[in-house]
Chain A
Amino acid sequence: MLLTNPFSELSALISPSIMQGYIILMVLLVIGGTVLDMIHKKSAQYFFENAKKAKKSAKRNVGVGEKSTIAVKVLVKEVLTSGEFKSTRRRLSHLLTMYGFVMFAATTAIMIFNYPTLDMPTPAILPQLWHLGALMLAVGGSWFWFFIRVDVSAEGLTWYRFERADLFILSLLTTSIFGLIWSYMQSHAIAGWTMLFLVLFVAASTTLFGSVLWSKFAHMFFKPAAAFQKRITIADESRENLPPDYDLSDPAVHAKFPDIPQYMGKKPVYMGLGIKREAPNHY
Chain B
Amino acid sequence: MPTFVYMTRCDGCGHCVDICPSDIMHIDKTLRRAYNIEPNMCWECFSCVKACPHQAIDVRGYADFAPLGSSVRVLRDEEKGTIAWRIKFRNGKKDMELLAPITTKPWGSATPNLADLPAPSKEMRDSELLCFEPKHIRMDDGALRTLEFAGLALKEGVYY
A: residues with CB less than 8 A from B are 43, 47, 57, 84-87, 90, 149-151, 153-155, 163-166, 216, 222-223, 226, 230, 240-246, 248, 253, 256-257, 259-260, 263-264, 268-272, 274-277, 280-283
Contacts and interface: CB of A to CB of B under 8 A. Distances in A.
A240 B13 contact: no
Contacts of B85: 243
B92 A244 contact: no
22 contacts: A149-B32, A223-B8, A226-B9, A241-B71, A241-B73, A241-B86, A241-B88, A242-B75, A243-B74, A243-B84, A243-B85, A243-B86, A245-B77, A246-B82, A246-B99, A257-B100, A260-B100, A264-B82, A271-B80, A277-B78, A280-B17, A280-B18
Top 6 nearest A-B pairs by Cβ distance?
Answer: A280-B18, A243-B84, A226-B8, A165-B32, A280-B14, A243-B86
A249 to B, nearest CB: 11
Contact of B13 (A47, A86, A216): A86
A241 to B, nearest CB: 4
A264 B78 CA distance: 14
Interface string B1-16: 0000000110111110
Interface string B118-149: 00000000000000000000000000000000
Given A222-B8, A242-B55, A264-B81, A150 B14 contact: yes
Interface in B96-112: 97-104, 107
A7 to B, nearest CB: 33
Q: How large is the interface on B (under 10, 10 to 19, 20 to 34, 35 or more residues)?
A: 35 or more
A244 B97 contact: yes
Given A257-B100, A264-B101, A277-B78, A246 B8 contact: no
B86 A86 contact: no
Contact of A272 (B12, B28, B79, B102): B79
B14 A268 contact: no
Contacts of B28: 165
A38 to B, nearest CB: 13
A243 B27 contact: no
A275 B54 contact: no
Contact of A275 (B13, B15, B32, B81): B81
A274 B8 contact: no
B113 interface: no
Given A165-B30, A243-B99, A244-B86, 17 more contacts: A43-B8, A84-B54, A86-B13, A90-B13, A150-B14, A150-B17, A150-B27, A163-B29, A230-B9, A241-B71, A246-B82, A248-B80, A248-B82, A268-B81, A271-B79, A271-B107, A280-B13
Given A271-B78, A272-B79, A260 B27 contact: no
Nearest to A167: B30
B51 interface: yes
A227 to B, nearest CB: 9
Contacts of A277: 15, 51, 78
Nearest to A246: B99
Nearest to A227: B8
B114 interface: no
A68 B87 CA distance: 31
A95 to B, nearest CB: 14
A271 B83 CA distance: 13
B51 A244 contact: no
A283 B27 contact: no
A216 B27 CA distance: 14
Contacts of B32: 149-150, 165-166, 216
